[in-house]
Amino acid sequence: MNTGIMIVDDHPLVREGLITLISNQRDFCLSGEASGIAEARELVRQTHPDVVIVDLTLKDGNGITLIKELKEQYEGIKVLALSMHDETVFAERALRAGASGYVSKHEASRTIIQAIRTVLDDKLYLSERMMNRVLSRAVGSKQRQSPEQHSPVERLSNREIEIFEMIGRGLTSRQIAQQLDLSQRTVDTHRENIKDKLELKNAVELTKHAVQWVLENH
């Protein structure tokens, strides 16, 4: 029986590229493709894929949220996180959510099949740089990162990153609250916390930095 692979990504061209790579493997088959979280939930329920490839940036929410849901609801399912974002910020978050690996979109065409086979063998898939970072933390390494390696966004919680990204996409606090099913007051509190952690002076600076971050990471 072929291994079922499902793709969750809101970029049609990315999905097409991944489908082509998967279709070229005799022992793999496509279980489905989804552009967002709601669609992915339904497809997983219907098709029960062996591996789900999840983009961390989706139009209707954060891929990390979906990863957590899948791991909680489906025993044995494997999840690979896929992202344009800096792996030093997101890889460990994805692993904590339950992902078995992290693949950069910059390298996906060269590594995705290897990554799928790695997680199917119950092993962790990360880039060599990220694996060294994770291992260093696991053994309590006290080596400091250089300023070039450290991103201020690492200070943000998963929820704060989600809201930061939505700000960068031009959503208002009210729109963010509606989409995330939060009160507007809660969103405003998160905005203040983000400003403090990123050492930004006001809402204008917050929006500017959020927009720039989205442009650089999507």
**Bridge-partner residues for 53, per DSSP?**
7, 80
Please report the pLDDT score of residue 93 as a whole number: 86
In terms of domains, do 213 and 185 share one? yes
Which residues, 6 or more positions from 143, have their beta carbon under 8 angstroms from its beta carbon?
A: 136
Structural domain containing residue 162 = 152-217
Count of structural domains within the chain: 2
Q: Among the three residues 76, 108, 138, which one is the final residue of a domain in this structure?
A: 138
In 10 A of CB 159, how many CB atoms? 18
In terms of domains, do 78 and 156 share one? no
CATH number of the domain bearing residue 132: 3.40.50.2300
In terms of domains, do 132 and 206 share one? no
In 10 A of CB 156, how many CB atoms? 20
In terms of domains, do 179 and 87 share one? no
Q: One-letter amino acid identity for 185?
A: R
Buried b (16+ CB within 10 A) or exposed e, 34-53: bbbbebbbebbeeeebbbbb
- Give the separation between CA 95 and CA 63, rounded to whole angstroms: 12
Dig out the tokens for 20 from the structure: 């082509």
CATH number of the domain bearing residue 157: 1.10.10.10
In terms of domains, do 32 and 108 share one? yes
Domain annotation covers residue 144 = no
In terms of domains, do 16 and 119 share one? yes
In terms of domains, do 124 and 173 share one? no
- Give the separation between CA 178 and CA 22, rounded to whole angstroms: 36
Domain annotation covers residue 39 = yes
Please report the pLDDT score of residue 133 as a whole number: 67
H or E element at residue 35: none
Give the phi and the psi of residue 53 in degrees, each rounded to 5. -95, 115
Please report the pLDDT score of residue 150 as a whole number: 59
| Per-residue pLDDT in tens (0 to 9) along the chain, 218 residues | 789 999 999 999 999 999 999 999 999 999 999 999 999 999 999 999 999 999 988 888 889 989 999 999 998 999 999 988 777 778 888 988 999 999 988 887 889 999 999 999 999 898 877 777 666 655 564 444 444 445 688 888 888 888 988 888 888 999 989 888 889 999 999 999 999 999 998 888 898 888 888 777 65
Domain annotation covers residue 60 = yes
In terms of domains, do 123 and 164 share one? no
In terms of domains, do 209 and 128 share one? no
Dig out the tokens for 56 from the structure: 């961390």
